[in-house]
Amino acid sequence: MKFFIDTANLDDIRDLAATGLLDGVTTNPSLVAKTGRGFLEVVEEITRIVDGPVSAECVATDHETMLKEGEKLAAIAPNIAVKVPLTVDGLRTCKALSTQGVMVNVTLCFSPAQALLAAKAGAAFISPFVGRLDDIGQDGMALIAEICQIYANYDFDTEVLVASVRGPQHVITAAKLGADVATVPPNVLRQLFNHPLTDKGLAAFLADWDKTGQSIL
């Protein structure tokens, strides 16, 4: 499974990229607005920190303007994935951009039917929002299972990018279901490292080592 982080915070991106475990970044206008900086400036800087896909979202809702925005975003760097909404105009734009060889991340997916359409439109990524489904009493992970099954039936190249992740269990369940990517807030990725027995075991090893009075270096 690939790990993306869902943020525009450059400090978090640099810190987690340094682990070697970060495969990409997803952003949206709300996340970039929190930085207080220009949208295009922030996106361009992220593409220089991360080698993998960096999702940058169009804000237009009509096809013609969305396509122009997508082409401008794609020109920032080769690793840009243009984000478009799962609407008729968004899928038209997805088809046009993917035909040009641009990576497209179709976002705001809430049904397997929508995911099927995105794959047919040539999306590089489909972003089902599992947490938002959970919030309204539906089973977000059941949607991931359905999409993975449909995509496997037809050998689609579109990668299932699990979004709106609330915690580590979403990530683990998505991995068990065979999802390709999880995009998570930075704090959730950091939580994946942690287990109390790891901390306890390490403390015991270090205490025993200190008693020997030795040094490796």
75 Cβ contact list (under 8 Å, min separation 6) = none
The region that residue 169 occupies, defined by phi over 0 for left and psi between -120 and 50 for alpha, beta otherwise, is alpha
Which phi and psi angles does 20 have, rounded to 5°?
A: 80, 5
Asked if residue 165 lies in contact with residue 183, where contact means CB atoms within 8 angstroms, the answer is yes
Task: Please list the residues that pair with 161 across neighbouring strands.
Answer: 181
What gap in Å lies between CA 77 and CA 44, rounded to an integer?
Answer: 7
Active-site residue, 83 included: yes
The one catalytic residue in 2, 83, 176, 211 is: 83
Active site residues: 83
